[in-house]
Amino acid sequence: MRSPGARRLLRDAAKPAFPDSVQTEQVTASTQTLLTQLLDPAHRADPYPVYRQLRESGPALLPESNLSVFAGFVDCDEVLRHPASCSDRLKSTVAQRAIAAGQEARPFGTPGFLFLDPPDHTRLRKLVSKAFSPKVVRGLEPDIAALVDGLLDKVADAGRLEVIGDLAYPLPVAVICRLLGVPVEDEAQFSWASALLAQGLDPFIAFTGQPQGFEERMEAGLWLRGYLRDLLGQRRAHPGEDLMSALIAVEEAGDQLTEDEIVATCNLLLIAGHETTVNLIANGVLAMLRHPEHWAALGQDSSRASAIVEETLRYDPPVQLVGRIAGDDMTIGDVRVPKGDTMLLLLAAAHRDPAVTERPDEFDPTRESVRHLAFGLGPHFCLGAPLARLEAAVALSAVTRRFPKARLDTDPAYKPNVTLRGMTGLHVPV
């Protein structure tokens, strides 16, 4: 961890060229324009020039949206660490205004612990964390390796790899289904719901005023929770060795866990447990195909996998931005953030901040150190980080070893998602 003095030096180095006093309407208007561009699907294949402009323009306040935007590494790091940063969206000025106007506070029901603050977040995370301990995750490695080999055997027979459908998607789905006790044959149904709910994380309303696809996402969210309630009933009658059965046992023992919280927790893990890992694996494959020397090197030496994964998390992160709520008046760098403001942290911009990373726009897994915020920081540090890292390392090692002659001969297609940016397809001759 860097000292406060070192962090101040980094912040000073990262300041934009205009004076601090010029946090003007012009800067705000520019930020608004760039954020709107970021939402445009035309920028999905390469959003990084827009992120660079947002970072170079410096932090910005959009008072009309009760929004503060940060794109520099040091600022994003500080917000994630700040004790007044909150994750419960009901603490935002925008949410309170909507509730006062008669809108339902939580239309999707009890949220997962990712969107809660202590003490509820602490209690729920503690109950789930045992399933993601390093020991448990290490024990999954043989099963993950076998799953990957089975998937790649089919690819070898076909002679062509569809990165998403053949590898990046089915692997994390199989693993999280096994952990939670969700029948993998139901994958197609919750895949539909998960994709819609993942897009719901995008900040469209703040910039366009249009809750795009809200009704469809509402339908998906209600369906998924209903599905999980039905599955919970089955697990009550026939407990297994899975996480849902373990949470039911905790609830029945009276340990401060409700049925709604079980459903919300499994809902969160089901979505977060595979959407982000799909993107991590696919982004790693794409980066190496665009830099064939790293594809060849990993295929010959699997010990390079960890470095490939960490550089992918920095260079092309699965989660491109996150939000926090100011639980009190806060000062981040030279910016005063009013209580209740939503703070938008552009992690994809922060990861390419030249103040903390040399040659930030280059994919270089051989660099001596990699700094990223891909898994967050503090009490909300990603619970599934060890599992995601393991799945990606095993998958990337195996695919480069099995298919040393793979090459990129087409451009990938992307989902419309901004926050959980990822590909819909990438066909690769092997």
Same domain membership, residue 279 and residue 425: yes
Same domain membership, residue 331 and residue 282: no
Closest CA to 166 of 282, 309, 305, 313: 282
Structural domain contains residue 192 = yes
What pLDDT does 26 receive? 55
Same domain membership, residue 305 and residue 336: no
Q: Which residue has the higher pLDDT, 24 or 386?
A: 386
Percent of the chain's residues with pLDDT above 70 = 89
Q: Average pLDDT in the 326-339 region?
A: 95
Structural domain contains residue 102 = yes
CATH code at position 53: 3.30.43.20
Same domain membership, residue 325 and residue 310: no
* Domain around 191: 113-316+378-430
Structural domain contains residue 371 = no
What pLDDT does 252 receive? 62
Same domain membership, residue 253 and residue 132: yes
| pTM to 2 decimal places | 0.88
Residue 176 structure tokens: 């999280």
CA 416 to chain centre: 15
**Which tens digit of pLDDT belongs to each residue from 275-323?**
899 999 999 999 999 999 999 999 999 999 999 999 999 999 999 999 9
> Residue 224 pLDDT more than 90?
no
Phi, psi of 384 (to 5 degrees): -90, 10
Q: Which residue has the higher pLDDT, 224 or 423?
A: 423
What pLDDT does 195 receive? 75
**Which tens digit of pLDDT belongs to each residue from 44-54?**
999 999 999 99
Same domain membership, residue 131 and residue 160: yes
Structural domain contains residue 373 = no
| CA atoms of 58 and 28, how far apart (whole Å) | 10
Structural domain contains residue 370 = no
Q: What is the number of domains present in the chain?
A: 2
The answer to which of 39-53, 82-96, 211-225, 257-271 has the lowest mean pLDDT is 211-225
Mean pLDDT of the chain: 87
Same domain membership, residue 310 and residue 389: yes
Same domain membership, residue 338 and residue 212: no
- Encode the chain in three state secondary structure: CCCHHHHHHHHHHHCCCCCCCCCCHHHHHHHHHHHHHHHCHHHCCCCHHHHHHHHHHCCEEEHHHCEEEECCHHHHHHHHHCCCEECCHHHCHHHHHHHHCCCCCCCCCCCCHHHCCCCHHHHHHHHHHHHHCHHHHHHCHHHHHHHHHHHHHHHHHHCEEEHHHHHHCHHHHHHHHHHHCCCHHHHHHHHHHHHHHHHCCCCHHHHHCCCCCHHHHHHHHHHHHHHHHHHHHHHHHCCCCCHHHHHHHHHHCCCCCCHHHHHHHHHHHHHHHHHHHHHHHHHHHHHHHHCHHHHHHHHHCHHHHHHHHHHHHHHCCCCCCEEEEECCCEEECCEEECCCCEEEECHHHHCCCCCCCCCCCCCCCCCCCCCCCCCCCHHHCCCCHHHHHHHHHHHHHHHHHHCCCCCCCCCCEECCCCCCCCEEECEEEC
Residue after which a domain boundary falls, among 305, 334, 362: 362
Q: Which sign, positive or negative, has the C-alpha torsion 395, 397, 401, 406?
A: positive
CATH code at position 256: 1.10.630.10
| CA atoms of 35 and 5, how far apart (whole Å) | 31
161 Cβ contact list (under 8 Å, min separation 6): 155, 167, 399, 403, 406, 427, 428, 429, 430
> Residue 21 pLDDT more than 90?
no
Structural domain contains residue 300 = yes
Same domain membership, residue 142 and residue 276: yes
CA distances from 8 to 115, 324, 343 (A): 30, 22, 20
Structural domain contains residue 372 = no
Q: Which residue has the tokens 């027979």?
A: 157
What pLDDT does 204 receive? 56
Same domain membership, residue 291 and residue 154: yes
Same domain membership, residue 229 and residue 201: yes
> Residue 27 pLDDT more than 80?
no
Structural domain contains residue 367 = no
Q: Which residue has the tokens 């830099």?
A: 291
Which phi-psi region, left, alpha or beta, contains residue 58 (left: φ > 0; alpha: ψ -120 to 50)?
A: left
Same domain membership, residue 217 and residue 131: yes
